[in-house]
Amino acid sequence: MTQKTCVFDTPFCQSDMAIIVGNSTVDIDFLAEWAQKTGADVFAADGGVVHCVAAGLMPKAVFGDMDSVSQPLVGSSDLASAWHHILDQDTTDLDKLLRHLKASRILGFGFMDGRFDHALGVLTTLSRYADTQHIVMLGEYDAMLVCRSGVTVQTDIDVRFSLWPLGEVICEASEGLLWPLNGLTFSPEEKTSTSNKTSAACQSITLAGDSEGAYALIVEKRFAAALLEAKLVDR
């Protein structure tokens, strides 16, 4: 492996969408299906490259400290130009990847399931990018979008719709939810909105002007495309 200990002056740029793959549990067939139907460039965080190879995908770049990559894979000639070895131990492999990637939409596999402490680290990392990147994570059961603005999304009637605050989130109004969020303030220590349900096919959340916290919007896995197409509302 060529050791590229680097921080690029400009990030890898995509005109539309990128797929990122982490080292947690991944539905290989689902990953391959999304890669085929979107034609998106694929990027891996450390050991996520193993899932890429299993799905028949060659990542454009692999970022991380490479502590989860086997030596035979490191020596693969097909991946010779993909390795970007970053020794920084103060950031996660996901953060290392996102620092070097800019795309209109990002779909992530292998970041939500597995070790709970890793999943918490993913939430923290995504909150840092909530203002600049549209990132949807896919797990075994759920799809998740972390944002800091209002949102409009189209799922279906009578399906699960959860909001988990990562800071103080002040909701001015909501539409399409069985239990409205109008005028409510959410925080990890106080009020949350897990397992709400939809009452209409289209849902929207409007935040107050002084709301500053990020939040995770979590729906069923089958609505991943809806989260990718969700409209984020600047305040």
* pLDDT tens per residue across span 109-135: 999 988 898 889 999 999 999 998 999
Indicate whether 127 and 55 sit together in one domain. Answer: yes
Domain around 125:
15-140
Number of domains in the chain: 2
Q: Which of 140, 161, 195 is the last residue of a domain?
A: 140
Indicate whether 123 and 175 sit together in one domain. Answer: no
Please give the average per-residue pLDDT across 10-24, as a whole number.
78
How far is Cα 49 from Cα 166, in angstroms, rounded to an integer? 29
Indicate whether 194 and 78 sit together in one domain. Answer: no
Indicate whether 216 and 101 sit together in one domain. Answer: no
pTM over 0.85: yes
Indicate whether 211 and 152 sit together in one domain. Answer: yes
Q: Which of 140, 175, 202 is the last residue of a domain?
A: 140
Hey, which bits of the chain come out as E strands?
Answer: 12-13, 17-21, 41-45, 61-64, 83-85, 101-102, 105-109, 135-138, 142-147, 150-154, 160-165, 169-175, 185-186, 193-197, 202-207, 215-220, 231-233
Please give the average per-residue pLDDT across 33-60, as a whole number.
91
**8 Å CB contact between 201 and 156:** yes
Give per-residue pLDDT as tens, 144-177: 999 999 999 999 999 999 999 999 999 999 999 9
Could you give the count of Cα atoms lying within 13 Å of 25 in the half-sphere of its Cβ? 10
Q: Which of 140, 175, 205 is the last residue of a domain?
A: 140
How far is Cα 7 from Cα 2, in angstroms, rounded to an integer? 15
- Tokens, residue 43: 């990027």
- Per-residue pLDDT at 127: 95
